Structure formats: C-alpha cells, structure tokens
C-alpha cells in the first residue's frame, strides 16, 4: 500500500539552481501548489481566508509599525516589537546597535527625509546579500547549513516549507552549494538573474498576502515601497520561510502537539524550541547565515540610499 | 548545453511554473512527515510493515489526513496496513493532583471513564505543559468498568514545579496504544526551575545564568549558556 505522501509530484525540472535563504542554490522544481491545495483537502479560497486570519493573529497582532506622526518612543516600540517577534519565532536576536540603526532609519523614512525602498530595490538587495554570502561561505558553514535542513521521510531536504522548489538529497545540495559559491565568487551574472527571479517571486508572494490580509499595515507597500523595518521583516520571512502567521501562543500549541506526538524530550538535539530559524521545531533553515549583521547592514545601506 | 543556456532555460521554466499561481505560503506537515489518507480527525493510528515492524504511530489532523514519522531513514513511508485507534477527549482526574516533588507518592489513581484493560493494562504518558515528554507508566490495576486505574509515578527526579499533563491510552487487540481515553493534569511543586543569578529568568532561558545584570544574548555579545540546548546558540544580527 502506498501512502498518499510524501508530496512527490512529477518532477518538471531538475537543474542546478538556487536557493536563497539558505545555502540552497539549485534545486529540483516541481509544481506543487496544486498538490498542496488538494492534499490539504480544503477549497483554495477557504484556505486563503483561513491563512489571512492566521496572519492577523500573527504579524497583524504582534507587531505595531509606527506612522508618519509617531514619536521616537513609538518608533522604538515598533522596532522592539519586530525584534521580539523575530526572536520569539526563530532565536535570531537583534543586537542593541542594530536596534538603534533601525530606529534611526525608520524615523528618517517615516519623516520623509528618506524614501521607502521599492520592492524591486528590496529584491535586488536580497540578491546582493545572497551572492555576497555565498561567495564567502566556508566549507564548514556550508556543511552546517546543509545539515540544518531537516530530512524528509525519504532522506531529502527542501529549502521551502511548502516544498515548492522541490526536494534534493544532501549530496545534491552540497554540489549545488559548491557550484553557487563558485559562481558567486566569479560574479556570474546568470546566477544573479536566476536568483533575482526567485527573490522577486518570494517578495511578491509575501507582499501579496500581507497587503491583502493586513491592508492597514501593509496595504501601501506595493505602490509606495517598504520602510526599513518592513524590509527586515520580509527578509526574515524569506530567509526562514516563516509565513508570519499565527500568534506565538498558537505556534507554541502547534509545537507542543508535535512534541507530544513524537514523544520528544526536551534534551533531544536538533530542535531549538522555536518555531522557525536554525533547528526550528516547525521548519528548520540555516537562517543565521543570511540574516547576520553584515546582511542587515547592507539592507540598511540600501534603505539609506533611498534619497528623497 | 552551456551553463549559461541551462540557467536561462531554467529561468524560463521557473517563470512558467510559478507565474500566475498564488501560492499560500504555509507549512505542509506532509513535507517532513509521512502522510496517509482519510481517517477519524484527531485519532491515533499505527501503520504496520509486512514484517510487523516498525509500527509507526501517527495522528489524523483536523481534515482526517494521517501524519506519522518513520523511525529510520532506511525505511520508506510504505506500509501494509493501518490500525486506527479510538478518539477520546474525556476529562480525567488524577489523585493526588498535587505532588510534592521532594517526596512524591509511589503511585496515583486516575478516575473517569473508558479506561479499558481488556487487551492489557492502560498506559499513562506524562508530558510537560509545552508538550515535552517525561515518561510513561503502565497501570498496575484497573476497574472492570473502566472508571479508574492505579499506576506508579514515573521518575520525576528531573522535573520542576509546574503543571503536567497525563494522557491515558489503552491497547488494541494487537497491543498498540492508540485508543485514547483523555487526559488529566497534576500540579507538581517544591522544586523550582533554578534561577541561579536571581534575575527572574530560569537558567534554561538565561544567556547569562550567573550574571544578574544580563540575560539576553545581545547584551554584551554572545550567549554563554549553551549547556542545556546546545542547538540553540545566540544568533545575533
């Protein structure tokens, strides 16, 4: 008897390719979206509305962005809310210096002294961060990154929680990362073109659902661009593949249910106790590689480059 | 085919694959677990190989899709048959319901209904409130009408004060503990989670367990504390 899963659909392509957040470059691509909807057994519209509700409970309730008339204290609170949101979900910690930089950058943009980053600029910045990081990835970092992905029942890994970019073995991924590093070091334009396409897709996807579910917080980003803090949040979401949905309480309940089912003890290695990020209970990615001080500094630089 | 050509071809295929699709970005548990078709929502089940082992125990989700983990990468998700358990959400009562961790009782009684011992003694699984497993014990005696069981206490020597959940299951004819009865809670006390520096953060959550002025890992650099969860160092950006 064959189980319905693991989601293995017809492979459309196999080819070296990307990855973004995570050392992943290269991958097999399957068209899984239709399969996911089918396997979930719920009409897409119903599923979408449910997802929007989960977004409102997550990023919609737990983050407060400041506005044009906000005080410094309110801007500081908004930075703290984003930092806390990310930390609680992924164990990625915003340092004090970074907090101050974001407070300053956010204030500049909200007061109109700096322009918002367009979505194209945001995607370009993410590509630059990836290419730079890949070019400087050590063998040890690459190995750790690859091992951070949790294996599927078939022993393969996937860089996206939805597996929309497909699966590959750790051996295949190792080769792809090595190739990507080589291309990055050479400054290969083809790699950037492919990464740009993937990054644009990732950013556009998030912008689409965030603006639809939370128009007050994200409704204007399609037309006006993003503030530094919004850019950080989208970058975090892309790197960790955290959809930003569900409150921390909901995530805790989901993780508790998984632990109980798996009879997992607290001492068991490979699980951080957080939902996302490195060794995330729900989905694990080597996010720390692409979400570090250097990456955030580059993001802030791009934001500051948006002269009025 | 030259690399550049391959990449451009890939780019086109990417575009064709994704363009026009609104992919709701949510985690599908079937990515990292084995899944099977319809069953009773929230019920436990076990899948069995032809040789009788291993027996993967999983749970149906709200949509009746069964999700389970296999125990070894040397096995696939394939199986020969499924045994489904019964779903029970009974509210049970534990006695004692309050336990002094410095002198825990040797056994306890759980009362309620449906704790059948027909195919073997029911089992009591202990979990922390956040889902981490503590231990299991088998009942030593049970009422013929399923209204109570007596079971020894598991090893609570490494347990801290707090509420814990007890889940009772009883076995199928084949001995699989997938018939759920319900759960009870107990309040354990007299052994607080240590906070060595007294800063209000338990050692397990404190980057600097012996420095009351710091707890967060971005307060002065990396996180000293990595003895308990070595998989969770401090990632600062």
pLDDT digits (tens, 9 = 90+) for A169-181: 888 889 989 999 9
Rounded to an integer, what is the distance from CA B170 to the centroid of its chain? 18
Give the gap in angstroms from C-alpha B66 to the nearest C-alpha of chain A.
Answer: 9
User: Which B residues in the span 103-162 are in contact with A, Cβ-Cβ below 8 Å?
Assistant: 125, 127-134
Contacts of residue A289, Cβ cutoff 8 Å, sequence gap at least 6: A22, A23, A133, A137, A141, A145
- Per the prediction, chain A carries an average pLDDT of 83
Give the gap in angstroms from C-alpha B140 to the nearest C-alpha of chain A.
Answer: 22
Give the gap in angstroms from C-alpha A69 to the nearest C-alpha of chain B.
Answer: 28
Contact A153 B28 (CB under 8 A): no
With a cut of 70, say whether residue A12 has pLDDT above it. Answer: no
DSSP state of A195: H
Residues (pLDDT < 70) of chain B are 1-28, 32, 51-54, 70-75, 216-234
- Please state the rounded mean pLDDT for residues A149-161: 80
With a cut of 60, say whether residue A138 has pLDDT above it. Answer: yes
Pick the residue of A88, A240, A260 with the most B CBs within 10 A to test the interface with B by mutation: A260
CA distances from B97 to A115, A226, A265 (A): 61, 53, 23
In percent, the amount of chain A with pLDDT more than 70 equals 83
Q: Does B237 touch chain A (CB under 8 A)?
A: yes
DSSP state of A289: G
CA distance between the termini of chain A: 64
Residue A39: list chain B partners with CB under 8 A: 28, 30, 35, 65
pLDDT digits (tens, 9 = 90+) for A110-135: 999 999 999 999 999 999 999 999 99
Phi, then psi, of A176 in degrees rounded to 5: -70, -40
pLDDT digits (tens, 9 = 90+) for B35-65: 888 888 888 888 887 766 667 788 888 778 8
Output the pTM of the full model: 0.80
Contact A36 B76 (CB under 8 A): no
Q: For position B223, what pLDDT does the model report?
A: 61
């Amino acid at each position: 008897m064959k189980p319905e899963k693991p989601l293995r659909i017809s492979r459309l392509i196999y080819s070296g390719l990307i990855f973004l957040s995570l050392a992943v470059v290269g991958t097999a691509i399957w068209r899984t979206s239709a399969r996911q909807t089918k396997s979930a057994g719920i009409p897409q519209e119903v599923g979408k509305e449910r997802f929007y509700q989960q977004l409102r409970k997550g990023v919609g309730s737990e983050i407060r962005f400041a506005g044009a008339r906000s005080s410094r204290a309110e801007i500081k609170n908004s930075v703290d809310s984003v930092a806390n949101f990310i930390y609680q979900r992924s164990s990625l910690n915003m340092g004090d210096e970074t907090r101050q930089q974001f407070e300053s950058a956010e204030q500049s943009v909200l007061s109109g002294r700096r322009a918002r980053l367009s979505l194209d600029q945001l995607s370009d910045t993410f590509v630059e961060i990836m290419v730079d990081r890949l070019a400087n990835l050590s063998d040890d970092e690459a190995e750790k990154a690859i091992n951070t992905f949790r294996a599927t029942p078939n022993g393969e890994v996937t860089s996206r929680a939805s597996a929309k970019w497909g699966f590959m073995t750790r051996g295949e991924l190792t080769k792809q990362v090595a190739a990507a590093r080589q291309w990055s070091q050479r400054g290969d334009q083809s790699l950037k073109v492919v990464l740009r396409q993937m990054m644009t897709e990732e950013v556009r996807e998030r912008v689409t659902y965030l603006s639809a579910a939370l128009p007050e917080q994200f409704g204007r980003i399609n037309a006006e661009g993003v503030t530094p803090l919004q850019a950080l949040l989208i970058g975090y979401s892309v790197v960790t593949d955290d959809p930003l949905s569900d409150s921390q309480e909901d995530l805790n309940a989901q993780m508790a249910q998984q632990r109980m089912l798996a009879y997992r003890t607290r001492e068991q290695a490979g699980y951080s106790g957080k939902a996302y990020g490195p060794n995330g209970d729900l989905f694990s990615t080597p996010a720390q590689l692409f979400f570090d001080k250097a990456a955030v500094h580059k993001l802030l630089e791009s934001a500051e480059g948006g002269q009025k | 085919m030259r690399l550049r050509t391959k990449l451009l071809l890939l780019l086109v295929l990417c575009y064709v694959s994704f363009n026009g699709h609104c992919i709701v970005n949510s985690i599908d548990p079937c990515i990292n677990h084995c899944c099977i078709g319809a069953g009773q929502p929230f019920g436990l089940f076990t899948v069995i190989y032809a040789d009788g082992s291993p027996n993967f125990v999983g749970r149906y989700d709200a949509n009746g899709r069964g999700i389970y983990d296999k125990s070894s990468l040397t096995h696939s998700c394939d199986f020969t048959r499924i045994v489904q358990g019964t779903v029970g959400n009974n509210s049970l009562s534990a006695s004692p319901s309050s336990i002094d961790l410095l002198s825990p009782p040797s056994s306890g009684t759980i009362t309620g209904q449906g704790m059948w011992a027909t195919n073997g003694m029911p089992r009591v699984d202990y979990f922390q409130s956040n889902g981490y497993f503590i231990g299991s014990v088998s009942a030593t005696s049970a009422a013929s009408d399923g209204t109570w069981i007596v079971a020894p206490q598991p090893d609570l020597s490494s347990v801290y004060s707090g509420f814990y959940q007890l889940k009772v299951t009883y076995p199928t004819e084949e001995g699989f503990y997938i018939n759920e009865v319900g759960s009870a809670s107990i309040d354990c006390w007299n052994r607080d989670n240590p906070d060595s520096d007294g800063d209000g953060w338990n050692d397990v959550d404190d980057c600097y367990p012996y420095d009351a002025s710091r707890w967060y890992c971005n307060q002065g650099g990396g996180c000293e504390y990595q003895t308990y969860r070595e998989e969770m160092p401090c990632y600062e950006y």
